[in-house]
Amino acid sequence: MTMRITTATAYRDALEALDRANVELARRQREVSSGRRVNVASDDPSSAAAAINEHAEGAALDSYIRATDTISSRLSVLDTVLADAIDQLTAVRVAALSGRGSAAGQAQREAAAREIGTLRESLLADFNTSFHGVQLFAGTAGATRPFARQADGSIGAYAGDTGQASVAIDRQSAVVVTMDGDALTRGPDPTHIFDSLDDLAAAIRAGDEPGIQAALEQVDRAVDRVQQAQSRVGGDMSRLQQQRTNLQALELGSAKRLSAAEEADMAASISALKQADTARQATLGALASISSKSLLDYL
């Protein structure tokens, strides 16, 4: 028996075809207007999950880049301060030379001692530098001034701690951002550089050659220590620049992967939209043609 196509079947089939064409058209329109292939998870569940993870990866890389910027500012301040400290200590040597030897008179020795006193103040200011409210040379005791002036005019012992704080610049590496003021100003010596400068000034005033010599050796050792610290800071700063470049390249890679997971290929979507539109028009035409004539028109 051949299949009867009844009126109801014909209209129902045409309506279903029209519904399908409309749904496809709406989907393609949404794709083109939002630019995204995945608008809800059911569009492509595994791409949605991949997109979530890629968004998080991009944000993590961003966070590391911000960290490198913050650390760079701090290290550049450290660099400047350490350079200034070296300048002060160099000036101390020059002043000491002018006040030493038999050719120097009392007045000259007095002038040299006073200059050393002034240079000691500048050095003190350097080692008490703070950045964004945190002491740079106090280790991890950021709120404590590492070197305080005593009642008798001398500089007290180191009041900070020896802890180190580092900040992560990627998942495996970190940069140390704290400075141990004690290691810089005293190192292996029994007293810190400020006391050495006081001793130097006193020795110059007294014309005490061995005393001057001993103090100058301490100054030399201090200069070495500060120069080492400065070169370490310089090395970290160039490492940070390189890291920033690396992170930006990784971020670009992450953005590309995200785009592949989430975004619609515009050319393909627009062409599919055109196809869906054409299909819909063809369906409408077919619907119109089946409804136009029946036998009753001819009777």
Partner 1 sequence: MSDLLRSLSLVTRALEAQRFGLEVTGQNIANVNTPGYTRREAQLAAVRPLHALDAGGGVEVTGVRAARDRLLERRLYNEIPAEQREAAVADALGVVEVALGAPGASLDASITRMFDAFARLAAEPTSPIARQEVVREADALAGDFRDMASRLTRAQHDADASIRSAVSEINGLVGRIASLNEQIGGSSAGETLALQDEQNEAVKALAGLLDVGVLPRTDGGVDLTFGNGRPLAIGANAFAVEIVASAPSGFAEITAGGRTVTAEITSGRLAGLLQVRDALIPEYQSRLDTLAFELASTVNGLHATGFDLAGAAGGALFAISASAAGAASAIAIDPAIGADPSKIAASDTGASAGNGVAKALEALRDAPVAGLSGSTFTDAWAQLVYRAGRDVQAATQEQESRQSIVRQLQALRDAVSGVSLDEEAVSMLKFQRAYEANARYFNAVNETLDVLLQTLSR
In the complex, the residues that contact partner 1 under the rule CB under 8 A are 3-9, 12-13, 16, 36, 38-46, 48-53, 55-56, 59-60, 62-64, 66-67, 70-71, 132-135, 138-144, 161, 163, 165-168, 171, 174, 177-178, 258, 262, 294-296, 299
Choice between 125 and 290, CB closer to partner 1: 290
Choice between 66 and 274, CB closer to partner 1: 66
Choice between 13 and 84, CB closer to partner 1: 13
Task: Give yes or no for a contact between 82 and 226, defined as CB atoms under 8 angstroms apart.
Answer: yes
Minimum distance from CB of 184 to partner 1 (Å)? 17
Choice between 4 and 102, CB closer to partner 1: 4
Choice between 49 and 206, CB closer to partner 1: 49
Minimum distance from CB of 285 to partner 1 (Å)? 21
Minimum distance from CB of 181 to partner 1 (Å)? 13
Minimum distance from CB of 163 to partner 1 (Å)? 5
Minimum distance from CB of 201 to partner 1 (Å)? 33
3-state secondary structure the chain: CCCCCCHHHHHHHHHHHHHHHHHHHHHHHHHHHHCECCCCHHHCHHHHHHHHHHHHHHHHHHHHHHHHHHHHHHHHHHHHHHHHHHHHHHHHHHHHHHCCCCCCCHHHHHHHHHHHHHHHHHHHHHHCCEECCEECCECCCCCCCCCCECCCCCECCCCCCCCCCEEECCCCCEEECCCEHHHHHCCCCCCCHHHHHHHHHHHHHHCCHHHHHHHHHHHHHHHHHHHHHHHHHHHHHHHHHHHHHHHHHHHHHHHHHHHHHHECCHHHHHHHHHHHHHHHHHHHHHHHHHHHCCHHHHC
Q: Which residue(s) pair with 167 in the sheet?
A: 175
CA distance 179 to 135: 9
- Token pair for 30: 């949404």
Minimum distance from CB of 16 to partner 1 (Å)? 7
Minimum distance from CB of 191 to partner 1 (Å)? 24
Choice between 115 and 262, CB closer to partner 1: 262
Choice between 62 and 79, CB closer to partner 1: 62
Beta carbons within 8 Å of 4's beta carbon, 6+ residues apart: none
Place of tokens 């890629």: 54
Minimum distance from CB of 155 to partner 1 (Å)? 22
Choice between 118 and 166, CB closer to partner 1: 166
